[in-house]
Structure 1
Amino acid sequence: MSFVVDTWLVFHRQTLLFLRNPLIAVIGVIQPLFYLLFFAPLLRPALGVQDQNASYRVFVPGLLVLLAIFAGLFAGMGLIEDARSGVLDRTRVSPVSRLAMLLGRSMRDVLVILLQAAVLVLLAVPFGLRVPLVNLLLTFLLLALTAIALAAFSHGLALRFRSVEAMSPLVNLISQQLLLLSGVLLPLAFAPGWLRTIAAFNPFSYVVEAARALFAGDWAARSVVQALIISAVLAVVTTAWASRAYRHDLR
């Protein structure tokens, strides 16, 4: 019970800090919004689909995963700022569980990402996007698991590097490769065989495929089950690794 309370307290404090400066979340949604406004309208003739709804059912799920990957990987930057300002040093004497500290922060990051995703979906509706509510909620569950996995990974990196200058280029490099090999902008079905083979080793390509299946109305697709299992396993593995880093650095 104490662990749950500790997690909630950390989450509550981090959420209040976010509410005092929501500009970061607004900036984070601007780039995906530009893709939605200026790139998505080109897809209908490119994909050869009959209407805008069909093209947005392909593009918006990839855009949501792009948001989760990018925002999740950069979540640890706030931890570096806390280290610089002395906040982390003061937590060394705190009785709060290190895992609770990690999960509380990660849950705040997930909340922000899901709010951004909801905004993008709502903005896509006037363009013709239609998706069943249950399927949308399942997609958000996938996004939440993806965000937890990457936010925890990012926090672990932040504790290792303790420097924005050192961590930012690495995160940019990782995010670029993950996004390119996920098919977030166009389905990997359009890619040559060698590229699809490489993309098969990228766990987030399965998340994109599952999200597109859900937006198409196929909640029972095999890709959905695969993506849920893969993202859940990743979330557990990265959280365990980052929790160990918390215990090592804040003991």
Structure 2
Amino acid sequence: MTFANQTWIIFRRQMRLALRNPAWVIIGLAQPVLYLCLFGPLLEPLAAEIGTDNAYTFFVPGLLVQLALFGALFAGFGLISEWREGVIEAERVTPASRTALLLGRVLRDLALLTVQGIVLVALGFLFGLTGSIPGMILGLVLTVLLGGACSASSNALALTTKSEDALAPILNSISLPVLLLSGILLPISTATGAPQWLVTLSDFMPIKYVVTGIRSLFTGDFWTTAVLWGVVWTLILFVAGLWVGTRTFRKDNA
């Protein structure tokens, strides 16, 4: 059996499980939609201050990244349940590639994230989102790749901790600083009143460059330094996430 077939089998099984219980898909989309409905109108009067003509062109890319982080980063909880039921060990005694075991699960998360992202962008248009359609498509691709990095890392962490009680505080301690320092909801700059030490700290946050790059794509600015760094950091995080996840799946004691 080829690697592609192995990955497809895992992906198909994971999609069936997800479709049988779509509540998590809806819950994952609910938070960005609420932010869009409740916070979006508050940003419209501040559009000029945050450096844009359309507040939703600034806000929706941030919500996409938030969707990737909070949707895919918590994917590991399902893996812990599978490990407890013996599913993981049953899969690992087969000749299936450890990378396929991980990639099939990651692809499920990417598929769900793609659907959620399309719905979020469509809702953004209803609120007044304008911009470049090709840029939005490319921005969604970067979002999905970032989600893949988060999903693979979450699965690796879940297989290492094997406990929801340990995994939850770890993920929360990671996601909250990322949410605040990446400028997902509000830009982190001295122009918006942020202290210099906070701006400097945010410069070391890779997700910040991904967010900035996606925002540039939404406005139609394809050939900019912001987009270049956004693509570079997205690819780095995606490759690193898959490497860490595959390495963890290959460990006999994981």
Short-chain TM bin: over 0.9
Question: Please, which of 203, 206, 214 is the counterpart of residue 203 of structure 1?
Answer: 206
Q: Pairwise CA RMSD of aligned residues?
A: 1.8
Give 1:101's aligned amino acid: L
Question: Please, which of 215, 219, 226 is the counterpart of residue 216 of structure 1?
Answer: 219
Conserved? CA contact 1:53–1:130, under 8 Å: no
1:60 alignment partner in structure 2: 60
What is the percent sequence identity of the aligned residues?
A: 43
Mapping 1:97-136, distance limit 5 Å: 97-136=97-136
Q: What TM-score results when the alignment is normalised by the length of structure 2?
A: 0.93
- The verdict on how the C-alpha distance between 1:244 and 1:198 changes in structure 2, with shifts beyond 3 A counting, is same
- The verdict on how the C-alpha distance between 1:129 and 1:161 changes in structure 2, with shifts beyond 3 A counting, is same
State the SS of the aligned residue for 2:244. Answer: helix
Segments of 4+ in structure 1 off by > 4 A? none
Conserved? CA contact 1:76–1:155, under 8 Å: yes
The separation in 2 between residues aligned to 1:227 and 1:177, in whole angstroms, is 19
Mapping 1:63-212, distance limit 5 Å: 63-189=63-189, 190=192, 191-212=194-215
Structure 1 position 89, deviation (Å): 2.1
Conserved? CA contact 1:53–1:129, under 8 Å: no
- The verdict on how the C-alpha distance between 1:146 and 1:46 changes in structure 2, with shifts beyond 3 A counting, is same
Task: List gaps (5 residues or longer) in structure 1.
Answer: none
2:8 alignment partner in structure 1: 8
Give 1:224's aligned amino acid: V
Structure 1 position 249, deviation (Å): 3.8
The separation in 2 between residues aligned to 1:6 and 1:250, in whole angstroms, is 22
The separation in 2 between residues aligned to 1:185 and 1:144, in whole angstroms, is 19
- The verdict on how the C-alpha distance between 1:108 and 1:78 changes in structure 2, with shifts beyond 3 A counting, is same
Tell me whether 1:26 sits opposite 2:26 in the alignment.
yes
2:40 alignment partner in structure 1: 40
